Structure 1
Amino acid sequence: MRAQKKILLGLFSLCALNINGAEYKEGTYIGKANGYKGDIKVEVQLTKNKIKNISVISNGDTPIISDAPIRIIPKKILEIQGLGIDSVAGATGTSKGIIRAVSNAIKIGKGNIKDLRKIKEVKKEFSNKIIKHENDVVVIGAGGAGLIAAIEAKNNGANVVVIEKMEFPGGNTLISGGEYAAPENWIQNQKGLSDSKETFYKDIIKGGDNESDIKLAKVLAENALNGALWLRDSINVTFENRQMFFGGHSVERSLVPEGASGVELIKKLMKKAQELGIEVHLGTNGIELIRENNRVIGVKAKTETALHEYIAKNGVIIASGGFGSNLEMRKKYNSKMDEKILSTNTKGITGDGIILGENIGADTVDMEYIQTYPVCDPVNGSLLYTGDVRLAGSAILVNKEGKRFVEELERRDVISFAITEQTDGVGYLVWDQKQLDDTGVKKHHKEEYEGLIKRGILVKVNTLDEGAKHFNIDAKELKNSVEKYNGYTKTGKDLEFEKRGGLITLETPPYYILKVAPAIHHTMGGLVIDEKARVLDKKGKVIKGLYAAGEVTGDIHGKNRLGSNAIADITVFGRIAGKNIVLEK
C-alpha cells in the first residue's frame, strides 16, 4: 500500500508537470524573501523539467520554530514538484517566506510560478488503527515546563516520552526573553545587592494583588534560586553577566540567558533530553486522558495520520501552557480580552491541557485573570524585545501628546491599561544611543530591530523633532518631557512617577522612538495544583496519577504575574512534578 501510494504521488507530480508544461533553465539559483522576522535565502537546483533540490542557506527567523518549516516545506515542494504547500502551523511567516524565496529562485530559472502554485500537496491518509506506546511517564507539552519535568522524571529513574502538538518544541518559553527571577543569585552577590526569598515572596503576593495561593507562592520563592542553579549547572544554560529590573519587583533580580532569549533555554533543554534518551513526539496532540481504577494511566493522542495511546505506569504530567491564543476561551472567562486585542503567544497555546483536566473533574482557578504585555508590535501583537531598553532605566514612555503617563517600571497590567487609555491606544518608547549600546538590544535582537526600522514602527533620528514628526507626536511636549526626565536623573528622584531603578540621562543622539501597544501575554488561571504539583478535583482531592506545571496551572501569580517569574515558575514546578510523579505512590 505504501509503495502504491508513492507511485501514485509520483504519477500525480509527473502529470501535473506535463499538464503545465513545466520547463526550466537548468542550473542552481538563489532566491530571497522576507520571513517572519528576518530574511530567508534559499538555493534551488533545477534540471530541464524538475526541481531537483532545495536548501535553505540562511534564515533570520526565530531558531527552533523556523527549523520546522525549513525541515518540512522544501521536502513537500520536492515531493509534489509544485508550490501549493500549506504553511506549518505556528510558523506561518517562515513557511511563506521559504515558499516565496523558492518561487523567486524558480523565476530566475524561467519557471512558471502561476502554474506551479496550482499543484497542491496531497493530504495523507488517516488510519483509525491505534498505535500503542508504554512508558512510565507521559508529559503533554514540549515547552519549558514539559521538558524540565521530563528531564527530572528521567533523572529519577523513569522511562519518559513527551508529546507536543506543534511541529516544533518550545511553547511560549521559546519566544520569551527567558529572564529568570531569582533572589540571592550570583549576580546580586557580585553587585552587593540585598535580597531574600522572603522579599521575593512578598513581591509575588503584592504583585498578584494578594490573590495567590500563599503556599504555592512560598514554594516558588523558596526554590527559585535552586532552579536557576540547576539550569546553569545541570542543563548548561548560559546566563549573561547582567540582570534586568522588571516592573513590580522591589529589587533587581532577573537573570538573563545568553542572547536574552528563551531559545537558549529550549536549545539546552532539548539537548539534555536527547542525551538522556527522552523521546519527543512532535505533531502529536493529546485529546483525552485515560483512567483506570480512579487513576490517570495515560493519554490518547492524534497525529496527522493515526491515533495513539500512550500508557504511563506512573501517570501523566500536563505542561501544555495557557490559553492566550484561544479567542473563544479568553472571551468566555474575560469578555474584555476579545478579538480587538492581539496576542504574543505562539499559535499552539490554546488551553488544551486545561480542558483535558476539566474533562475528568479537575478544578480550575483564576481563569478571568489574563495579563497583557505593554510593549508589543501594534500590528501583529508580537512581544518586542527591542523595547527591553525600558527595563534598563533610561527609556521613557510618552503618548501622542508627548507626555509621560505612567511609571515605566510599573506592573505590566498597570502600564498596559494606561496605554489603552491614551490617544489611539498606543504609546511611544523613547531612548538614546547610549542606552541602545549599553543594553545590547540591537546585538541580541538584530533581526527584530532591523525589521521594525524597515516598517517604520521604530525610528532612528538625530533630533526629537524628527521622531515626533514621523509619528505625529507633539514635538514641544516631547522635548519638555525629556528635559524634565533628564533633570530627575541629576537628583535621582522622579517627581512625576517615582520610577524605580536607576535614572539615566537621555542626551546622546541619535534618538530612538518605538510605537507600542499591549497584547495578551499570560493567562494566570488554570488547573488547581498543590505544593507537590498534583492536580486537584473540585472537592480539593488529589487526582491520582495526574500532575501539572507551568502556565497550565493557576493560583501561583494571583491577578498578575511579575515579569521574569514565569521561567522561575516552570522550572520550580516542572522539577517538582517530574520528581514527584516518580517518587510519590
Structure 2
Amino acid sequence: MAKYVFQPNQIDDLKSAYDVVIVGSGATGLISAIQAAELGLKPVVFEKMDKLGGNSTRASSGMNAAETYVQLNHHVVDSFEDFYNDTYIGGGKQNNVELLKYFTSHAGLTIDWLKQHGIELEDLTITGAMNTTRTHRPNSQAPIGAYLVTSFLQIIEKMDIEVYNNVSVDKITRDDERITGVVISDGNGNQHQVAGKAVLLATGGFGANKELIGQYRKDLTSYRTTNQEGATGDGLKLATDVGAALVDMDQIQVHPTVQQDNDHAFLIGEAIRGEGAILVNTDGNRFVNELDTRQKVTDAINEQDTKHAYLILDAEVVDHAPAVRFYDSIGMVVHGQTIDELANNIDVDANNLAKTIETWNQAVVNHDDQFGRKTGMNRQLNHPDFMAIHIAPAVHYTMGGIKINHYTQVLNQDDQAINGLFAAGETSGGLHGNNRIGGNSIAETVVFGRQAGQRIFKYIQEQ
C-alpha cells in the first residue's frame, strides 16, 4: 500500500480573507481547522516548515482519556476525578485548575469524536505517574502522532481545507477592538496581508530554541532536544506583540529516556516502560521507579555518576511496544541471547544485571519492594532475545506559553480576553504545571484543538 502524501496548496491559491487563520500544522492546528470547517467556517492553515505536522509527528506513546468505551472494553474502570488527580499531582499541583478540569472531563469525548471520523484508538497502555491504564493508541500500536497527523490530513484533503507550507507569519494585525488577520511571507519572500475574523496560534513550544530556553533556564542550554527544528516559540512573540501574557515560562520538561548517541536525538517513549522495560545504571542495577514522573526519573538518572542509563527489555516487551523495531532498524538497540551476553555487549556487570532481572521478575509476581513501582508490571523479562537501549535526558517539552482560559481565548496582562485571538496546544501554558505526563500532550491537542474550533465559531457568530 502506497504511503499517503498530502499536497499543500500553492501560494497562487491564497485568498485575501478567511474566517479563521490558523498558525501551525501540528495536531492542534489540523484538528481546529477540521472542527471549524465542520461548523461552516472557512479556515486556512499556515506552516513555516516544509514538512507538515510539527512535533505532533514525533509523539509515540498514546493519548490519555478517562471514562471511555475503550477502557470498558478492556475492563478498566476509570473516572474524570482520578484522571484529574493523577495529572494535578504529577504537575506538582501547579496546574491551572480551570484548564485541567476542562481537559480531564473532555478527553473521553474526543475518543468518540475521533472514532466518528474513522480514527480508532482501541488499544491501551500506561505512562509514568498515571495510576490507571488510560493511554489510548491504535490497535496496531503504531506511534500515535504520525498516525493522527496522517489521518487529519486525509480529512482536510476531503474537506478541501487550504494548507500552506513554507509560509512564515510575520505579525498579527488588529484594530482598536479586535484581531483582524495576519501578515505572511511566502517561500519566495513575498509578503501578503490576509484578513481573518479570528486567529488561532497553534505553533507548538520552544524546545528547539536554545536562546529562548536560556532566558528562563540557563541550566538546560547544554541539553540536546527531542524537538524538530521548527519548535522555536514563534507564536509567543506573535502573541506578546499584540498584548498577550505568558505563564510558566521556566517550566521546561526534560525527558529521561532519549537515545542520543548519534546526530539525531530519538525519544524512547514511555509506552516501552509501560509494557515492562526497566532502567539500569552502568553497574547493572535498577535505581528508580521507571514510571514515576518524568522529572523524578530524570533526576534519578542525573544522580548517577555517568548521567546516563540503559533501558532493558525482552522480545515480549517488543511485541507490545513495536516502536522498538524501528529503533532497532537504525542501530539503536543492543542485543543478547542471554543476560550475560547482553551485559557484555553494553559493558555492565553481568552478575548484577542477572540479579537485577531476577529481582524484577519476582517483583512482577509479588510487588516491587525496591522502588514501589505499581504499574507496567504485566510481564517478566524472561523471553530471549534480551535488549538494551542507551538513554540520557534531553529537553523535550515546554509547559509554559501563552496565557489562555479554557475557551482557548488568549488573555492579556489583566486577564482580559484579546478579541479574536486564540491559542491551543504546546504554545499555550498552564495545563501541565511543572511536569507534563506522557500521553497528555496529544490529548491536549485534540481536546483544545476541538475547543478552539468551536469557540472561534461562537465568537464569529457573536460579532
- When normalised by structure 2's length, the TM-score is 0.93
Which SS does the other structure have where 1:404 is aligned?
coil
The residue identity in structure 1 corresponding to 2:199 is: V
Q: Does 1:246 align with 2:127?
A: yes
Which SS does the other structure have where 2:393 is aligned?
strand
Aligned-partner Cα distance in 2 for 1:472–1:284: 48
| 1:504 Cα offset (Å) | 2.2
Which SS does the other structure have where 2:16 is aligned?
strand
Question: Structure 1 pair 276/559, CA: closer, same or farther in 2 (3 Å)?
Answer: same
| 1:182 Cα offset (Å) | 0.8
Aligned-partner Cα distance in 2 for 1:260–1:469: 31
The equivalent of 2:428 in structure 1 is 553
| 1:211 Cα offset (Å) | 0.6
The equivalent of 2:145 in structure 1 is 262
Aligned-partner Cα distance in 2 for 1:387–1:468: 23
Aligned-partner Cα distance in 1 for 2:241–2:69: 44
Aligned-partner Cα distance in 1 for 2:345–2:16: 59
The residue identity in structure 2 corresponding to 1:194 is: V
The equivalent of 1:221 in structure 2 is 104
Which SS does the other structure have where 1:161 is aligned?
strand
Q: Does 1:433 align with 2:312?
A: no
Which SS does the other structure have where 1:262 is aligned?
helix
The residue identity in structure 2 corresponding to 1:451 is: I
Identify which of 361, 365, 371 aligns with 1:497. 371
Q: Does 1:565 align with 2:440?
A: yes
Q: Does 1:397 align with 2:295?
A: no
Q: Does 1:514 align with 2:389?
A: yes
The equivalent of 1:360 in structure 2 is 242
| 1:132 Cα offset (Å) | 6.3
| 1:557 Cα offset (Å) | 0.6
Which SS does the other structure have where 2:330 is aligned?
helix
Question: Structure 1 pair 381/411, CA: closer, same or farther in 2 (3 Å)?
Answer: farther
- Higher RCO (CA-CA < 8 Å; seq separation 6+): 2
Q: Is the 8 A contact 1:132 1:308 kept in 2?
A: no
| 1:151 Cα offset (Å) | 1.1
The equivalent of 1:158 in structure 2 is 41
Identify which of 403, 407, 416 aligns with 1:528. 403
Q: Is the 8 A contact 1:488 1:503 kept in 2?
A: no
How big is the alpha-carbon RMSD for the aligned residues of Structure 1 and Structure 2?
A: 2.0
Aligned residues: 450
The equivalent of 2:414 in structure 1 is 539
Q: Does 1:372 align with 2:246?
A: no
Q: What CA deviation, in whole Å up to 9, does each residue of 1:401-421 have, x standing for no partner?
A: 111111011111211221122
The equivalent of 1:133 in structure 2 is 16
| 1:385 Cα offset (Å) | 4.4
Compare CA radii of gyration and give the structure with the larger one.
1
| 1:64 Cα offset (Å) | 6.3
Question: Structure 1 pair 317/551, CA: closer, same or farther in 2 (3 Å)?
Answer: same
Moved more, 242-251 or 458-467: 458-467
Question: Structure 1 pair 485/447, CA: closer, same or farther in 2 (3 Å)?
Answer: closer
Aligned-partner Cα distance in 2 for 1:574–1:273: 14
Q: Is the 8 A contact 2:226 2:267 kept in 1?
A: no
Runs of 4 or more, structure 1, over 4 Å off, are: none
Q: Does 1:472 align with 2:347?
A: yes
Aligned-partner Cα distance in 2 for 1:202–1:468: 40
Identify which of 337, 344, 350 aligns with 2:220. 337
Which SS does the other structure have where 2:238 is aligned?
helix
Identity of aligned residues (%): 32
Identify which of 434, 451, 470 aligns with 2:330. 451
| 1:252 Cα offset (Å) | 0.6
Q: Is the 8 A contact 1:167 1:282 kept in 2?
A: yes
The equivalent of 2:69 in structure 1 is 186
Aligned-partner Cα distance in 1 for 2:235–2:306: 36
Identify which of 83, 88, 91 aligns with 1:208. 91
- When normalised by structure 1's length, the TM-score is 0.74
Q: What are structure 2's unaligned runs of at least 5 residues?
A: 9-13
Which SS does the other structure have where 2:219 is aligned?
coil
Aligned-partner Cα distance in 1 for 2:365–2:62: 30
